[in-house]
Amino acid sequence: MTATTADAPPPDLRLPKRRGVELSLLVCAVLISVYGYVEVGLAKGGAVPPDAARYGAGLGVLALLAHLAVRYRAPYADPLFLPIAVLLNGLGLALIYRLDLETPNNAAAPTQLIWSTLGVALFIGVVIFLRDHRILQRYAYLSVVAALVLMLLPILFPAVNGAKIWIRIGGLSFQPGEFAKILLAVFFAAYLAANHNALAYTGRRIWKLQLPTGRVLGPIVAIWLLSVGVLVLERDLGTSLLFFGLFVIMLYVATGRTGWIAVGLLLAAAGAVAVSSLEPHVHSRVEDWLNPFATIDAGEGPGQLAQSLFAFAAGGTLGAGMGLGHSILIGFAAKSDFILATAGEELGLAGLTAVFLLYALMVARGYRAGLSLRDLFGRLLAIGLASILALQVFVIAGGVMGLIPLTGMAMPFLAQGGSSVVTNWVIVALLIRVSDSARAPQPEPVEPGIVAPVLEGER
């Protein structure tokens, strides 16, 4: 009677690889980017930019090489990461090129294209040479030391626009904090994967809060102090907020204790209040946020944040069209910190929604990979990387739109900035790697040692 069921062939367990989907999405991403580029040329000069074909070919070749690397080294990877990254990067290039037209002496798009190429090269390198993400777990402590060194280095260099987050050697400027965030995510993932039982179940209990032992808690407090320390020394509110938020999220996921979130928020609030009242640079940004039009009332003309709000408002629902806005009024950071305002003005709420959805999709897919993975380190790493993207987008976009105080950070892939675009390509490479592990058909062999076999029970 149940013969039909019994005799049925075993279901095909092979997951679809979806590489064809990735390739067709990539073609779309490149075409949309080139269309944006051409549109800028038509709007500003009435003609297709002379190098549109070269630009399109360049972007296409980069996308194709990245795709080939994924196809042969991570065939089961999520097919959305790469097209989204290419689209955001291509859109960013078009926006920077568009702003370049208004600042003829300061062309940033060619440099950005070189950095993007370097980023894709690193992406390919990571996809090809990092065969298994768990190898990274072995370098947890090396990562955190490297991250610390990178973060502290800029203190030796002079401040740029009030923030000591750059290293300038010759004509090249470089923001080491960007790389540090990957290294920190690796460290957090490894540390929490190794200690998550100790964090969750040991230590003294004070009233309702279960405190871990000092030995386990120590490094966490150290990291918190470090994030505030980075902020004070380098006046980098954004990065410290990012690190702290990243850490709280990963700690929460690893331990499942809501108390950590409460403690984290309290500590963050205390730190933010202390710093904003003590540090004039940060204080002025909070003031700007509370009253973006104060400088207008004072007769000094609109400040950057006011200009940014004007740009978003000018875009309205449908946008002014590529090349037809006036976001250059924002001034010196229009191509980097404030690039989203150009997107908002020229693409409108419609375009901005699309951009945010692209980020959201990438974050969601990162979390999806984290859910599917069976090793704790990989899970936490995927979640950490996805959270970096989400937090960074929130912090910078919220800043330029007046939702939260402004912090100098780069919109992932969109903004001008070499270290940022390279770092983000590496993040995508790591996400591709973990998503490949998550979706690959054969069960992963459990690594002995660091990862405890509690996972089976939990799933």
Point out which residues bind other proteins (CB under 8 A).
Answer: 249, 252-254, 256, 293, 296, 301-302, 306, 309-310, 312-318, 320-321, 324, 326, 329, 344, 348-349, 352-353, 356, 359-360, 363-364, 367, 370-371, 379, 383, 386-387, 390-391, 393-394, 397-398, 401-403, 458-459
Q: Closest separation between CB of residue 325 and other proteins, Å? A: 8
Strands 205-206 and 209-210 come out as antiparallel
Q: Closest separation between CB of residue 222 and other proteins, Å? A: 23
The pair phi, psi for residue 205, each rounded to 5°, is -115, 120
How far apart, in Å, are the Cα atoms of 205 and each of 93, 200, 381, 387? 53, 11, 29, 30
User: What is the 8-class DSSP label of residue 168?
Assistant: E
The C-alpha atoms of residue 281 and residue 303 are separated, in whole angstroms, by 15
Q: Closest separation between CB of residue 390 and other proteins, Å? A: 4
User: What is the 8-class DSSP label of residue 160?
Assistant: B
The C-alpha atoms of residue 424 and residue 120 are separated, in whole angstroms, by 10
Query: Are 384 and 246 spatial neighbours (Cβ–Cβ below 8 Å)?
Result: yes
Closest CB to other proteins among 225 and 454? 454
Q: Closest separation between CB of residue 331 and other proteins, Å? A: 12
Closest CB to other proteins among 102 and 447? 102
The C-alpha atoms of residue 221 and residue 248 are separated, in whole angstroms, by 11
Q: Closest separation between CB of residue 316 and other proteins, Å? A: 5
Q: Own/partner pairs for 221-228, CB < 8 Å, 24+ apart?
A: 223/184, 223/247, 224/267, 224/271, 226/148, 226/151, 227/271, 228/271, 228/274, 228/275
Residue type, 28: C
Residue type, 405: P
Angle between helical axes of 140-152 and 214-234 (0-180°, round to 10): 20
Tokens of 392: 């960074």
H or E stretch at 144 = helix 140-152
The C-alpha atoms of residue 436 and residue 324 are separated, in whole angstroms, by 42
Closest CB to other proteins among 103 and 277? 103
The three state secondary structure string of 383-440 is HHHHHHHHHHHHHHHHHHCCCCCCCCCCCCCCCCCHHHHHHHHHHHHHHHHHHHHHHC
Closest CB to other proteins among 62 and 393? 393
Q: Closest separation between CB of residue 346 and other proteins, Å? A: 11
Indicate the SS3 state at residue 340. helix
Closest CB to other proteins among 24 and 291? 291
The C-alpha atoms of residue 177 and residue 419 are separated, in whole angstroms, by 9
Closest CB to other proteins among 75 and 316? 316
Q: Closest separation between CB of residue 69 and other proteins, Å? A: 27
Q: Closest separation between CB of residue 257 and other proteins, Å? A: 9
Closest CB to other proteins among 57 and 371? 371
Closest CB to other proteins among 173 and 202? 202
Closest CB to other proteins among 113 and 390? 390
Closest CB to other proteins among 83 and 325? 325
Q: Closest separation between CB of residue 425 and other proteins, Å? A: 21
Q: Closest separation between CB of residue 385 and other proteins, Å? A: 11
